[in-house]
């Protein structure tokens, strides 16, 4: 039975072998800068910037597929690779200089995507009251969801019905964020570099994400808005973004990435109606505002 370490070693070997083979097959195809500079070391820097070890052969194969797409995208469109180098801050004007700069610059670039998302989360918590719930209630979201569902048994039918409906229309995180992005543009945090780095971080970390070559180039050249990028993500991608925006959300809970969104929206709606208040990490139900007497068998908030 292979050990985790054996699996990692096999995965790393497979990844390096396939990327080296890609370079060997393709480097004589053209004399443009992209073909010469996209060496195995440079291509693997996109993987290493993720900050996570390649843990399995399946993961290695998924990353090989992404590297091949990246190679094709940057070597197909004239000038795209040079534009990308400017975004990541490569200053060298010689092949040797570029090869020396690129690996570390690319690793730092992919890491920046995560950093920008964390800053965006801080921004949202500071500017938008709804998202304070993610910061304050993040560790309690599973129990709060069960609590709210239990609560509907004791509410008047109209309130219960409204509470159940809140959040059901949120099919992606983008649909929740759009209004706030327009009012408080997250893109202003860092502009093109932020957009490009966020795209790269998501694309390299979420294997379920798939774009065509034109969209890959568009993403790596920083031409997606934050909301537009989020709209294109599958649920696994939404989960990845949520964990970076709001660190501390229970990871097992994000198997259903949309559930934290609906919980937060329901809580926000209840707070807005003054049916409940959320203060210092605890929830208080205002039964008098709801118009019913406190049920004697209703559980205490967890």
Note the pLDDT tens digit of each residue in 4-27.
889 899 999 999 999 999 888 766
Structure tokens at 249: 């959300």
Give just the sign of the alpha carbon dihedral 99, 97, 223, 241.
positive
Rounded CA-CA distance 70/217 in Å is 8
Note the pLDDT tens digit of each residue in 124-157.
888 777 788 888 888 888 888 888 888 988 999 9
Per DSSP, 211 falls in state -
Higher pLDDT, 265 or 301: 265
Note the pLDDT tens digit of each residue in 204-254.
988 888 789 999 999 999 988 877 888 888 878 888 888 888 888 877 656
Mean pLDDT taken over the chain: 85
Q: Using the predicted structure, report yes or no on whether residue 102 has a pLDDT greater than 90.
A: yes
Q: How confident is the model at residue 282 (pLDDT cuts 50, 70, 90)?
A: confident
- Residue spans of the domains in the chain: they are 111-302
Q: Using the predicted structure, report yes or no on whether residue 291 has a pLDDT greater than 80.
A: yes
Structure tokens at 285: 């139900």
Best CA proximity match to 160, nearest among 1, 231, 44, 266: 266
Give just the sign of the alpha carbon dihedral 183, 188, 192, 197.
negative
- Model pLDDT, residue 61: 93
Best CA proximity match to 163, nearest among 249, 253, 257, 273: 273
Q: Using the predicted structure, report yes or no on whether residue 65 has a pLDDT greater than 60.
A: yes
Q: Using the predicted structure, report yes or no on whether residue 109 has a pLDDT greater than 70.
A: yes
């Amino acid at each position: 039975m292979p050990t985790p370490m054996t699996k990692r070693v096999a995965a790393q070997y497979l990844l390096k072998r396939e990327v080296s083979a890609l370079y060997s097959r393709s480097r004589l195809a053209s004399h443009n800068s992209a073909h010469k500079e996209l060496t195995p070391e440079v291509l693997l820097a996109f993987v290493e910037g993720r900050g996570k070890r390649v843990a399995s052969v399946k993961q290695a194969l998924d990353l090989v597929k992404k590297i091949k797409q990246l190679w094709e995208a940057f070597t197909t469109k004239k000038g795209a690779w040079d534009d990308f180098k400017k975004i990541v801050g490569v200053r060298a004007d010689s092949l040797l200089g570029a090869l020396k700069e690129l690996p570390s610059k690319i690793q730092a670039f992919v890491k920046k995507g995560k950093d920008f998302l964390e800053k965006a989360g801080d921004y949202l918590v500071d500017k938008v009251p709804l998202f304070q719930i993610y910061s304050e209630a993040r560790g309690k979201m599973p129990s709060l969801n069960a609590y709210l569902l239990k609560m509907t048994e004791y509410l008047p039918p109209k309130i219960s019905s409204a509470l159940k409906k809140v959040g059901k229309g949120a099919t992606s995180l983008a649909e929740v964020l759009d209004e706030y992005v327009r009012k408080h543009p997250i893109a202003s945090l860092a502009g093109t570099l932020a957009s490009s780095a966020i795209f790269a971080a998501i694309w390299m970390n979420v294997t379920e994400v798939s774009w065509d070559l034109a969209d890959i180039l568009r993403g790596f050249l920083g031409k997606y808005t934050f909301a537009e990028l989020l709209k294109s993500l599958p649920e696994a991608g939404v989960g990845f973004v949520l964990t970076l925006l709001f660190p501390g959300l229970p990871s097992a809970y994000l198997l259903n990435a949309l559930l934290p969104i609906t919980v937060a929206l329901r809580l926000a709606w209840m707070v807005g109606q003054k049916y409940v208040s959320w203060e210092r990490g605890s929830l208080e139900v205002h039964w008098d505002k709801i118009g019913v007497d406190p049920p004697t068998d209703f559980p205490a908030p967890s």
